[in-house]
Structure 1
């Protein structure tokens, strides 16, 4: 038994003595018992009322005086209140530090509730999004009235971002990201990307202008070299070898310029995606027929069409992406190898697989294969003269169609490049193409 209850024994003992005395005086045990019980109960009610008055007062000073078990109760509650007060002060300091830190952030930060209502925002949100203090509690979609942002909120796919102009200045571009946290809470972060977009536009314009300016001299140079190469008998053989070498490098530079122009067109915001029906099986058949003519010692190529489904998009962009993948597979596969092109319906989308039996690619190269000018020296394969832009063009073309490029490769066992298209891009039953054909070229 604890010490507070031992301190209560004197009061109980005194009550019993008084009860015994009263029972002798009034010669009635029952009356004495109830009298003592009422007095003892009144004592507890008195201290309980004192505790209630102290708690209602909300004061953090010393607790009321008490004796027996009530002294311990007062002390424990006083200690809990002090501890709670210290914890509250710590939380307030932490909250103030958080608000000070977020207020100093250059990016607009907004805390959203379960119904997209605004719970809190920093000063940058006032400058960039035009929010005011009386906007707290309002839904963010009612204040940022942009169709792209409304669709972003509705889709709730927070892995991506959305770009909108600032409500205060149409010349300022904002990139918005929403990060879920806690219970139905989200953090909206808006970053000013105006300068970044400007630099990207300058870079794109520079590449486009330089590429256009290079095409004319390259065409002239290529024409003269072709004329000189056809001058048999009038030009020494040693000189013809130099001309042929120059013609090869001119063709390589022309291919590089064409690749840069293709990337510029794909990246241009003014280049709207064409929404046309594309007969993918027929396109793949045409590409495979053309690829067969690349060289005499090409590997075998097998086209497997498991579905007659087509795609909704730009035919030329898709053709360029598929051609790049198939041509690359043919180039890096030995003549004794095999390239398999497979078009199939996955139920929730469609997929094109270009699989080869070439030397494969090391794993540490895979994340960077779609970077511009990134090339891999494949062991056992001589330089194929590529520009390093093919897979970058493929990635951009697929991104414009909402598709994803997946790459799997194992050294010594070959590679597989897969184009995964979303369900909304797949058209079924619109083409007069056999559902299942397999043709070896």
Structure 2
């Protein structure tokens, strides 16, 4: 049935003017009065038999008409559809019209509800947190993809199951049974034992609950790093402060200290003070690089010239104890920050000096390898076991703590190198053999390289 059939324009005027009850009886009388008049006339003029026949025919036709309309209504109600809505006139037409309009409103409301549900589902799927809808008996009614990944659930398999049966950790079961939902708990789910989840339940409506999971593994790692960092800084500063404080107490207690002893003590305190200064300077540098703060002015950097400067500084630091050589195999420059590149390369070179025994050799090399450019420092030092290489750039990580302190290292040099290179989209590569030496390479991408031809034009 088309919408136009039930349009307001096609309704008779009296349908709009009179109440429904008056319209109903008005139509009944409009059909019945002519037959009543005919039957009355038959009886008045002694045609009782004919009148009875006419009355029966009228009542039979009326009954058949009503049954026919009732059948059409019943058939349509079994499968209500706007396209198959029955058509009729009179009172049945009004009934079908009202049913048609009601079905139309229902479909419109259904579309709105479906659209709202779709938006809700999409929004829940877009959340970075896991969301599980539970009923009053803690049965799963719905969950998003993140919750499936966090808790090992399946929307096809686990709908209608009790969450306690799927997550059997005692801490979680106690939390959900005691209904102390004001605070969150942390669990390591069986589906991902290395993941730490924050779980909290939020009751809503009358009986439903919303279980929200959040992956806090990285936050926990950061917390551990921060705690270790504070502990390491405290430990690194405590030693020189203890030395300085001890010498000061000794000097105060001794009334007549010899000049040589006093000078020796002063020298030791000066060394420890310089060590603290280096540590604080490295901490400030690392903090600036990690936070991306401060000036990061980029410009063309003459790397061949910088390598020569690094060689001069390395020879000064070595004091003639090592053979320092340079190999500049490329005239290419880099686009970057001069101070940060100097700091990164300087840390690699100074580490080579510290960990290479006297008489060893150190080579500084700048070369182009296809699409990349590489600055490397190769030494014949003590080398590093493979188990330590992946952790070398961690703050305060030392392969040999006692040797690092003896050589004046702060434990932050390679962390500074890592972050300085990251600011230039570069990476640090390490190859080493214990007892034979190491090679530390700063690998720069093609986007940072300024070819020699362009430097000559400038």
Q: TM-score, normalised by structure 2?
A: 0.45
Q: Who wins on radius of gyration, i.e. which is larger?
A: 2
Quick check: which one's helix share is greater? 2
Indicate the structure whose relative CO is greater, using CA pairs within 8 Å and at least 6 residues apart: 1
Q: TM-score, normalised by structure 1?
A: 0.47
